[in-house]
Amino acid sequence: MPLLEVTDVSKRFGGVQALNGVTLGIEAGEIFGLIGPNGAGKTTLFNVISGVYYPDGGRVVLQGTDITGLKPHEICGRGIARTFQLVQPFAEMTVLDNVGAGRLFGREGREGRISLRRARDEARDLLRFGKLEGREVRRAATLTLSERKRLEMVRALATGPTLLLLDEVMAGLNQAEAEEMGEIVRALPQAMRLTVLFIEHNVRLVTGLCTRLAVLDYGQIIAQGEPEAVVRDEAVIRAYLGDRWARRMASRA
Ligand SMILES: Nc1ncnc2c1ncn2[C@@H]1O[C@H](COP(=O)(O)OP(=O)(O)OP(=O)(O)O)[C@@H](O)[C@H]1O
Ligand SMILES: [Mg+2]
C-alpha cells in the first residue's frame, strides 16, 4: 500500500481548472519530485493534500485512511507537514522558539507528551540538522533567505511528520545554497524516517535528488516515473523543459 494515494483529484477556481483528475501514489521512504510550468497546479495539489482546499472531486488517502476534507491541523496531526512557497516563520520570535513551537503544536506536543524543556532540546537538534546552529537566539526576521528557507523546513519537521511536503525550498537561492539545501533534503528519509514530496523548478537538482518524478501541466499529470526517463519524455519537453533543454540532453548523450 502506498503511503499517500491521491486519486482523481480535481479543483476549480472560477474559470481555472487548477487540478484535473490528478492521480499519484507515493511510497514510504521516497523522495518524490513534482515539476511543471508556473500555474500548473503544483501548490494547489499541496493545498488539497494538506487540507487548505477541499477538492471538487477525488480523494486523498494516507496509509489507507481517507483524509480528504480534514482540517489542516487534523491533517498535521495525521503526520503530514508542509512548507509554504512564501516562507512564513514567526518573524519576531527567535529561531529556537519558532521550532520549539512546531514541536509543541505538532502531534506529540498536542497530546501533551512534550515538556517545554524537551521541546527546546529537540528543537536544537533539528536546527543542527538544518544547518542553523548558532542562529538559535536570533529573531527569525534577521535571517537570510536561505536560512529562512531552512528554518521553514525545520519548523515543519518539528511537528513530527511521516510525510513532508516542500514547496520550492530552493527558489531564490544561489547555486551553492541550493546544493546545500539539496543535501539536507537528500538526508531526510533516513535521518528523520519520513517521505518527501517536493515541488521544484531546478530540474537538474530535482532529477539528481528524487526517486521518482511527476510533471503537472494545466492541472494534469503528463508524465511520471524514473526521473531520467521523465526528463526525456517528448510531452514534458514540449510543455515544460523546452528545445534548449532537449538539445543539451542530446549533446550530452
Ligand atoms: N485561491 C485561488 N483562487 C483563485 N485561483 C487560484 C487560487 N489558487 C490557485 N489559483 C490558480 O490555479 C492555478 C494553479 O495555481 P498554483 O499556484 O497551484 O500553480 P503552481 O503550479 O504552484 O505555480 P508556480 O510554479 O507559479 O508556483 C493558477 O492559474 C492560479 O492562478
Ligand atoms: Mg506554486
Grouping H, G, I as helix, E, B as strand and the rest as coil, residue 90 is coil
pLDDT band at 86 (very low <50, low <70, confident <90, very high): confident
Q: List Cβ neighbours of 24 (8 Å cut-off, separation of 6 or more).
A: 4, 5, 6, 32, 214, 221, 224
pLDDT band at 166 (very low <50, low <70, confident <90, very high): very high
Q: Report strand pairing: 4-13 vs 57-62.
A: antiparallel
Beta bridge partners of 199: 34, 167
| Ligand 1 atom showing the smallest separation from residue 44 Cα | 18
Q: How far apart are alpha carbons 234 and 244 in whole angstroms?
A: 13
- Angle among Cα 231, 182, 44 to the nearest 5 degrees reads 65
3-state helix, strand, coil in the chain (%, to 5): 45, 25, 35
Residues 9-47 pLDDT 10s: 999 999 999 999 999 999 999 999 999 999 999 999 999
Average pLDDT over residues 236-251: 83
Q: What is the pTM of this model?
A: 0.94
Measure 206 CA to ligand 1 centroid, in angstroms.
Answer: 21
What the chain holds in terms of domains, given with CATH numbers, is 4-89+163-252 (3.40.50.300)
Q: Best mutation site among 9, 10, 12, 42 for ligand 1, i.e. most ligand atoms within 8 A of its Cβ?
A: 42
Cell numbers for 148, please give them: 529562512
Q: Please answer whether residues 186 and 200 qualify as being in contact, where contact means their C-beta atoms are separated by less than 8 angstroms.
A: no
Measure 114 CA to ligand 2 centroid, in angstroms.
Answer: 34
Buried/exposed code over 70-83 (b: 16+ C-beta within 10 A; e: otherwise): beeeebbbbbbbbb
Residues 168-208 pLDDT 10s: 999 999 999 999 999 999 999 999 999 999 999 988 899 99
Is the C-alpha dihedral spanning 172, 177, 183, 184 positive or negative?
negative
Q: Report strand pairing: 57-62 vs 65-66.
A: antiparallel
Beta bridge partners of 139: 94
Pocket of ligand 1 from Cβ distances under 6 Å:
13, 16, 18, 36, 38-44, 85
247 pLDDT above the threshold of 90 = no
Higher per-residue pLDDT: 212 or 204: 212
Q: How far apart are alpha carbons 179 and 197 in whole angstroms?
A: 18
Q: How far apart are alpha carbons 132 and 60 in whole angstroms?
A: 34
